[in-house]
Each structure stands twice: as C-alpha cells, then as structure tokens.
Amino acid sequence: MLGHPIIPIYLLDGDKPVIFDAGLSFLGEFYAEEIKAVLGDRKPAYLLLTHSHFDHCGAAATLKQHFPGLKIMASKKAQQALRRPHAIALIRELTRAAETYAHDMGLAFNGDHPFRPFEVDEVLQEGDRLEVSQGQTIQVIETPGHTWDCLSFYIRPLRALIASEAAGQTDSNGYIFSEYLADYDQYLGSIKKMVDLGVDILSLGHFYVYTGADASAYLQQSLCSCEAFCQLVESNLKQALGDMQQVMARVRAIEYDNNSGPKQTEEAYMINLEARIKAVARQMRVET
C-alpha cells in the first residue's frame, strides 16, 4: 500500500511490477515518489484500474508521465467511460471538492495537478491473466455492482485480492458501507464470487488491508451488510412512500453524520447514496 491509507494505491513487485489504481490526481507526484522508492531504477510495467471513479484513476496521466512505458489497463466499460466529456467533467468537479477534504485530513500536496484525461491502452476481461514473475500471475475477475466497469485482481500464489469497493468499504467505526451504485444483485454476486476464491490478503479501496482469517471474515460480513443495507432502504422507502429526499436524509443520519472519523466528501457521499438507494428501489420496482 502506497500513498496515504485514505486514498492508497497498491504496488506488486516482480519481474514486471504492477500498480493497482491511481488514486487522486493531485497526489500523483506523491505516488510516483513512493513507487520509485520501492523500485529504484526499475519501472512498473502495468497500471491496472479497478474502475473509473475519480479517486481510483485520477493520477493515471501523471504516472504515465513518470513511467512512459507504463501500460494502462482497465475494463471495456471503463475505457468507454473515460472517453465521455460528461464523465471527465464530473471527475474534475469531484477532484476539486476532494482537495479541501485532503487538506483537512493532513495530506500535503501541490494543488497544481488537476485531473488530466488519459487513454486506456489495453482492455481486460474475465479470465485474463498477467504474468508478473515466473509462478506469479494476476487473474482478472469481473466484479460489477459497485460500478458496471468494476474489475478485481486475484494474485496467485499469494491468494491476494485487490477488490476496491467491489467488496464494500469499512469506516473507522467498523461499519461496512455496501457500495452497490450500479446494481444490487450484481454486487451481491460479485462478493459471493470473492468468497469462493479463498483470500489471505484483501486490499480494499480505502483505509484497510485484511489478512489471514480477517480477510475471509470481512467478506462474509460484507455479504451480511449488503443484505442489511438493502432491508434498511426498503423499510424507509415504504415508510416514505418512495420519497427519495426523506430516505436519503434518514440513511445519511445513520451512516454519515454519526461517523466522526475520516470519510468521503459530502458531495461524493450524497451522489453515491442516491445511486445506492435507487439500486434498491429498482430491486423493489419502486418509483422514486
């Protein structure tokens, strides 16, 4: 784990070193320095993106500038999203909002690094494999639900999984956010797929890496949290007769307002919360 645990990236060393995700654009120089501190004169071969959210792809252009031979790889849907003007504009807007949050969290950075668009060099899909070193491979797993473009990466023989928010996200109080922004059933199925892998190292998108028995226990807990959040939203949608604003206010009071530790910016949280509630509403076939 490199960078700050709030917005980390991951580096797998080997004959062909691999970077997983690219964090926030204004932390790009920080990430590059830490990669160089580990690799020395050697260069990373690949940058694998889990998905196209602003806090996971932001510094890709900066990393490419530092390591010109770097091959950026992601899903087809991520490649398509990162070519859309509306998506680029939203990434830039959320990145600007995150600068204040990052300063408040004590992150030191030069703010002159806005998000720069980049091209995905190669598309990845379910079943693809990359050889990092002899006997060490990365298996590509499609894990939609958090987003439609979400990939996870399983490293053999380490039994390590780079899951990002496809497996949910723990806050500082131990609460697991169920992050199905795209689809509830797909998200639940993706976590079940991860459970079946057998994982000894689980790397989430923010804050935490779980190891040993904690890794498998977390995935089981994430399944339970997924179902519990669905039930919470269902009950509130029924009580509020589908009123989205009422439901958002009630859920926010439970998840966000009571969380005193590091957390998403309010703007990003509210965008994600609306998407999560709508995913449950679609499951229920309720109009909002």
Asked if residues 243 and 229 have their Cβ atoms less than 8 Å apart, the reply is no
Q: Where are the domains of the chain?
A: 1-124
- Per-residue model confidence (pLDDT) at position 97: 85
What Å distances lie between residue 213 and 171, 198, 210, CA to CA?
Answer: 19, 10, 8
Cα–Cα distance measured from residue 21 to residue 50, given in angstroms and rounded to the nearest whole number? 6
Cα–Cα distance measured from residue 70 to residue 64, given in angstroms and rounded to the nearest whole number? 6
Q: Which residue reads 């589908």 in tokens?
A: 242
Find the DSSP H helices in the chain.
Answer: 28-39, 54-57, 60-66, 76-81, 85-104, 184-197, 213-239, 244-255, 266-284
- Per-residue model confidence (pLDDT) at position 2: 96
pTM of the predicted structure, to 2 decimals: 0.92
Query: pLDDT digit string (tens) for 124-157?
Result: 999 999 999 999 999 999 999 999 999 999 999 9
Query: pLDDT digit string (tens) for 94-115?
Result: 998 888 777 766 676 666 678 9
CATH number at 1-124? 3.60.15.10
Query: pLDDT digit string (tens) for 167-181?
Result: 999 988 889 999 999
Cα–Cα distance measured from residue 246 to residue 223, given in angstroms and rounded to the nearest whole number? 26
Cα–Cα distance measured from residue 194 to residue 217, given in angstroms and rounded to the nearest whole number? 12
Helix axes 184-197 and 213-239, enclosed angle (nearest 10): 170
- Per-residue model confidence (pLDDT) at position 56: 97
